[in-house]
């Protein structure tokens, strides 16, 4: 694996990790994590494909890129990485917030996408209630001592209740990772999510195959909210994992790895041949 960095006026330091070689799959992390969350999955998928794992601006090794970061900016950062690697077409898969960026990518750069992966994510916009909740959280991030308790409460809630004891160590590791994200990045990410539009029409109009990974016990993006979306595109690979919350890359890594590999085989050997 190889850590690389791009420097542009808009993205002062944009870092990403390249695993393996061949046709490309981009794995975008969710909130409030960084690319390292994909390490296990990326290592395995890279036995067959090139896997590129960015740190979104303001996460991991990538520096903060301003308060007004949008999911479209995140998509632009992914496009810059593809250009830097000389890749004309890739599978773009995102976890949760990373999926919102992947949807924006599908809208902005349709010529560059070979397949779309929605991993515990949705094409819908936030409801008004969700926006209000996020605004309250933003107020907390900006209060002295407000961020850490938020993270410590939020991260365990991403996992299925039934697996919390078995995954205690992993949950602690993810919590420590999330605590590294600065308050200003958390705020920028929540604002980006509040401002994102409904992209279900993109799913409906897109020609690319879509892979869905859904946790039966996901309380952040509940399975029942996705029923309509998973049949909007022409070709959908829908995987629903039992005893799984919002974090299949940790809760069900073997299933997710296998599903990525068969999806990529379809995208590259059938759909985009």
Residue with smaller CB distance to ligand MLT, 89 or 95: 95
- Give the DSSP letter string of 206-253: --S-EEEEEETT-SSS-GGGGTTGGGTSSSEEEEEETT--S-HHHHSH
Overall size of the chain counted in residues: 273
Contact with ligand MLT (CB under 6 A) among 16, 31, 141, 260: 31
Within 10 Å of residue 36's Cβ, how many Cβ atoms?
A: 18
Residue with smaller CB distance to ligand MLT, 112 or 191: 191
Contact with ligand MLT (CB under 6 A) among 123, 193, 202, 210: 193
Nearest approach in angstroms of CB 7 to ligand MLT is 26
Nearest approach in angstroms of CB 220 to ligand MLT is 5
Asked if residues 5 and 14 have their Cβ atoms less than 8 Å apart, the reply is: yes
The answer to the question of residue 30 lying near ligand MLT (CB under 6 A) is yes
Write out the binding residues for ligand MLT, residues 206-235 only, by CB under 6 A: 220
Nearest approach in angstroms of CB 96 to ligand MLT is 3
Nearest approach in angstroms of CB 193 to ligand MLT is 5
Residue with smaller CB distance to ligand MLT, 20 or 251: 251
Strands across the sheet containing 210-215: 2-6, 14-19, 50-54, 24-28, 90-95, 113-119, 210-215, 236-241
Helices (H) and strands (E) in the chain, counts: 10, 8
Write out the binding residues for ligand MLT, residues 78-117 only, by CB under 6 A: 96-97
Contacts of 51 (CB under 8 A, 6+ apart): 18, 19, 20, 24, 25, 26, 27, 38, 42, 45
The answer to the question of residue 49 lying near ligand MLT (CB under 6 A) is no
Residue with smaller CB distance to ligand MLT, 97 or 104: 97
Nearest approach in angstroms of CB 154 to ligand MLT is 8
Distance from chain centroid for Cα 93: 7
Nearest approach in angstroms of CB 170 to ligand MLT is 15
As given in the structure block, the two tokens for residue 54 are 């960015």
Residues in contact with ligand MLT by CB under 6 A are 30-31, 96-97, 193, 220
């Amino acid at each position: 694996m190889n850590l690389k960095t791009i420097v542009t006026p808009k993205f002062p330091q944009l870092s990403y990790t390249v695993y393996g070689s061949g046709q490309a799959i981009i794995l975008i992390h969710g909130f409030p994590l960084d690319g390292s969350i994909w390490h296990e999955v990326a290592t395995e998928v890279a036995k067959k494909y090139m896997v590129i794992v960015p740190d979104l601006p303001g996460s991991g090794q990538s520096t903060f890129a301003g308060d007004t970061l949008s999911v479209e900016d995140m998509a632009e950062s992914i496009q810059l990485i593809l250009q830097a690697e000389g890749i004309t077409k890739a599978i773009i898969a995102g976890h949760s917030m990373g999926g919102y960026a992947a949807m924006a990518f599908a809208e902005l750069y349709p010529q560059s996408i070979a397949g779309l992966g929605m991993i515990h994510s949705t094409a819908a916009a936030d409801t008004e209630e969700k926006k209000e909740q996020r605004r309250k959280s933003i107020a907390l991030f900006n209060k002295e001592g407000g961020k850490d308790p938020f993270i410590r409460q939020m991260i365990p809630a991403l996992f299925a209740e039934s697996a919390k004891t078995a995954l205690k160590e992993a949950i602690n590791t993810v919590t420590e990772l999330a605590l590294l994200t600065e308050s200003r990045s958390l705020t920028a990410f929540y604002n980006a999510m509040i401002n994102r539009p409904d992209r279900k029409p993109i799913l409906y109009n897109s020609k690319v195959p879509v892979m869905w990974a859904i946790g039966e016990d996901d309380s952040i993006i509940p399975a029942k909210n996705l029923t309509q979306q998973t049949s909007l595109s022409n070709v959908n690979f829908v995987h629903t994992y039992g005893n799984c919350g919002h974090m299949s890359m940790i809760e069900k890594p073997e299933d997710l790895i296998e599903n990525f590999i068969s999806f990529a085989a379809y995208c590259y050997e059938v759909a985009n041949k």
